[in-house]
Structure 1
Amino acid sequence: MSAATDAGAARKREVLLKIEGLAKSFIAGKPVFADVSFTLERGEFVCIIGHSGCGKTTILNVLAGLDQASAGHVFMDGREVAGPGLERGVVFQSHALMPWLTVRRNIAFAVASRWPAWSRAQIAAQVEKYVAMVGLSAAIDKKPSQLSGGMKQRVGIARAFAIEPKMLLLDEPFGALDALTRGTIQDELMGIVRATGQTVFMITHDVDEAILLADRIVLMRNGAETGHGYVAGGIGETVINPLPKTRTRAGLHHQDGYYALRNHIVDFLMQRANPGAID
């Protein structure tokens, strides 16, 4: 497929998620963020980056239906998000597995919740498919205590994919892993997303991770006191990733445009993410 065809296909994507005027306040008159508006297209991978305290996780929790915004709206497929739902799969930094259940039964519980009319054979086939996708077939009947940290995260990812959500929400899912394990799971996630066309919204602090995985990178700025009063946090900039979709972790730094993109993001985080620092 040519680059022109790729661009045309991207333009034809449907909007899956629409965020309008989102704000969150814990202290009156000093919202953590305000006027946050953006969309996610079906099949798009969007990463959000910003310093601690800018509201990244709060935004993800609002999208997941686990928190309420102080203002604004979130719509998925034209319907307002008003609470948790199985059309949104969530993976947190902690795997959140049930320790008394095996890998198989942890994932089967989610699948049975998603499709309560399915037979045991259908549930088993779905579980085995996604366990195989993350390379854990040999550990399918082990309990979480018998797994490494990286294996537990793979189970969490398999569970999220197994319910075939319209959108996957990832809150720094690899943040606690060592560099080698993190890289391996990044590769696995990228392969599964490409194979399934999954829509993904992901929080990360890792610039290279965002460049590797994302089609679009949202850069958040923090709220801060300035010489002109308090300025709420929000979206400072949105960057489209110009690198080819065939990029790999090993070859990322050889891609034309990689260093310019990385330097631009780092410059934003160092110089422009805190309005109080540059007032």
Structure 2
Amino acid sequence: MTTPAFIQVDGLEKTFPAPMGQEPVTVFQNLDFEIEKGEFVCLIGHSGCGKSTILNILAGLDAATDGYVFMENRQVTGPGLDRGVVFQGHALMPWLTVRENVAFAVKSRFKRHSKDEVNAQVEKYVEMVGLSHAIDKKPHQLSGGMRQRVGIARAFAIEPKMLLMDEPFGALDALTRGVIQDELLAICQATEQTVFMITHDVDEAILLADKILLMTNGPFAEVAECAYNPLKKPRSRQEMHHDEHYYPFRNHLMDFLVNGPSTPYADKASDGTPPAMEEAPRSGPRRVVNA
């Protein structure tokens, strides 16, 4: 018997009601994909294809019109502390310090932790994002990049089974974005964190992702291709441009965004295993086990 994937998305569809006299809008339909434990998956597509809505459904913050999301073979029906979310805006409480913002999340997740245990957990993850020196500052005393790091530290500090990130670096300048990408990559490699991330940045996806899902344009958007990253791990932004797979793979992704689906990229991953591109898997019906 095949072991189910860590995350299984089956037949997902989202239709929004329309004003009176107009037809409802189906943003995406027939979404089927899997995420394995410890895998970093990026979702790429043009605005309007429902990327953020998909992430919100995985987080339990929105409901699908049709289809299911399963996590460890249990249906996702609402939000939970087994999933951490990082949005494009940092969403920090401005009246709390960095320490207090992260501690608020830790206390929610680990209700039996003592004050010392909470503080140790906070300091561990604040140090991971390089903000120990600013731990007792409030958000208005931090730069945009530092505030976003606090949001990442807060998400990691609850030790989620899955991290969901909605264009977390989109509002940052290129230099700050690069620094935080490197930190995120190092943390994920150290913790084997499962991540689902939305991005518009092809190079960001190539640096971070093990697998890239390519969405067609909405309405009625679908996952057209599941692209396995053929670049060797561990990856670094300084070295990946020298990898023989980089430019062919990047060109394929860019061509998809400009011209739409084409012949799947046929190279193998660096270890010779999964193909760099394949059609998104379609799954049969699954047993529903409520969380």
Would you say same fold, with TM above 0.5? Answer: yes
CA distance in 1, matches of 2:179, 2:80: 29
Match of 2:245 in 1: 257
Match of 1:17 in 2: 7
- Please give the residue correspondences for 1:223-242 in structure 2 after superposition, counting only pairs within 5 Å: 223-224=218-219, 232-242=220-230
Match of 1:276 in 2: none
CA distance in 2, matches of 1:196, 1:165: 11
Q: 1:94 aligns with which of 89, 109, 122?
A: 89
Q: How many residues align?
A: 256
Shifted more, 106-115 versus 242-251: the winner is: 242-251
CA distance in 1, matches of 2:87, 2:3: 27
- Tell me how large the CA RMSD over aligned residues is: 1.5
CA distance in 2, matches of 1:184, 1:250: 12
Normalised by the length of structure 1, the TM-score is 0.89
Match of 1:3 in 2: none
Q: Which ranges in structure 1 are unaligned for 5 or more consecutive residues?
A: 1-11, 225-231, 274-279
CA shift at 1:252, angstroms?
1.8
Q: 1:155 aligns with which of 139, 150, 156?
A: 150
CA shift at 1:29, angstroms?
5.6
CA shift at 1:247, angstroms?
1.4
CA distance in 2, matches of 1:195, 1:75: 26
Normalized per residue, which structure has more helix? 1
The yes-or-no answer on 1:37 pairing with 2:25 is: no
CA distance in 2, matches of 1:62, 1:247: 30
Q: 1:109 aligns with which of 97, 104, 113?
A: 104
* Contact 2:13 2:28 survives alignment (8 Å): yes
Amino acid of the structure 1 residue aligned with 2:238:
A
Shifted more, 105-114 versus 241-250: the winner is: 241-250
**Which secondary structure does the structure 1 equivalent of 2:125 belong to?**
helix
CA shift at 1:214, angstroms?
0.2
Q: 1:245 aligns with which of 233, 257, 273?
A: 233
* Contact 1:32 1:222 survives alignment (8 Å): no
Q: 1:200 aligns with which of 195, 203, 207?
A: 195
Shifted more, 22-31 versus 124-133: the winner is: 22-31
* Contact 1:13 1:42 survives alignment (8 Å): no
1:127-170 per-residue CA deviation (whole Å, 9 max, x = no partner) reads 00000000000000000000000000000000000000000000
CA distance in 2, matches of 1:67, 1:262: 32
Q: 2:71 aligns with which of 45, 67, 76?
A: 76
- Please give the residue correspondences for 1:44-193 in structure 2 after superposition, counting only pairs within 5 Å: 44-193=39-188
Change (3 A) 1:193 1:14: farther
Normalised by the length of structure 2, the TM-score is 0.86
**Which secondary structure does the structure 2 equivalent of 1:31 belong to?**
strand
Q: Which ranges in structure 2 are unaligned for 5 or more consecutive residues?
A: 18-22, 262-291
* Contact 2:50 2:218 survives alignment (8 Å): no
The share of aligned pairs that are identical, in percent, is 65
Match of 2:258 in 1: 270
CA shift at 1:246, angstroms?
1.6
**Which secondary structure does the structure 2 equivalent of 1:182 belong to?**
helix
CA distance in 1, matches of 2:44, 2:106: 31
CA shift at 1:172, angstroms?
0.3
**Which secondary structure does the structure 2 equivalent of 1:135 belong to?**
coil
CA shift at 1:223, angstroms?
2.6
